[in-house]
Each structure stands twice: as structure tokens, then as C-alpha cells.
Amino acid sequence: DQQVKQNSPSLSVQEGRISILNCDYTNSMFDYFLWYKKYPAEGPTFLISISSIKDKNEDGRFTVFLNKSAKHLSLHIVPSQPGDSAVYFCAASVYQGAQKLVFGQGTRLTINP
């Protein structure tokens, strides 16, 4: 069972415009949510996170929104830059003996010049 789902395998956005990546989850026990960015031949790197007690967290061009009632989160990148082209993974965390970190399938974002 896929507890964290990213239903869009790919997204193409014009440089300078807003990129919106979406993620849905099923486990209401998740209490922390993260976004990771992955370039080819590298491991994923942490981008931004949000606690379940908040509904928005902003860091420069990146903003994460959390809608707990809908079990949905999104990542907004504005303005989008060519260097943002990568695979983005949504992740959710719940404490089960340790912080169990569950990831989605990933969305490949391409920023077109």
C-alpha cells in the first residue's frame, strides 16, 4: 500500500513561472512532511519541511502548504529556474520506534528556458 502518493510522474514549466508539485497521503498519524530533490546519479537532498501543526512554511523561492483535512500537501517554486529541473520526492514521517520516513513515487520537474 502506497501511503504517500505523487500522482503526477512529470511536470513541465516555463522558466520564471510557478511550479506546483502535489502529494497526497493516507496515514493520519503522519506528523511531519518533507520535500526532497534528486539529481541524476546523486542521492536525494532535503529541500523543505513542515510540521503537522502548521499549514505553510516558506524558504526563499520554496513554499510548502499542508491541508490536513484533505491529507494533501504541495510544494510551490516561484520563480522557477532551470536549475530546479530534478525529481522531487514528497515524504512523510511518523514515530514508530524511530522516525519512519515514507516517500512517494516522485515527480520529474522540467523547467524550460
CB of 14 to other proteins, least distance (A): 26
For other proteins, which is the closer residue by CB, 18 or 101? Answer: 101
Do you find a cis peptide bond into 44, omega within 30 degrees of 0?
no
Distance of CA 77 to the CA centre of its chain: 11
CB of 54 to other proteins, least distance (A): 14
Separation of alpha carbons 79 and 56, rounded Å: 18
- Per CB under 8 A, residues contacting other proteins are 2, 6, 32, 34, 36, 41-46, 49, 89, 91, 93, 95-106
State the cell numbers at 21.
508539485
For other proteins, which is the closer residue by CB, 63 or 106? Answer: 106
CB of 113 to other proteins, least distance (A): 27
Please compute, for residue 51, the number of CA atoms within 13 A of its CA located in the half-sphere on the CB side.
2
For other proteins, which is the closer residue by CB, 71 or 100? Answer: 100
Phi, psi values for residue 81, rounded to 5°: -125, 155
For other proteins, which is the closer residue by CB, 68 or 79? Answer: 68
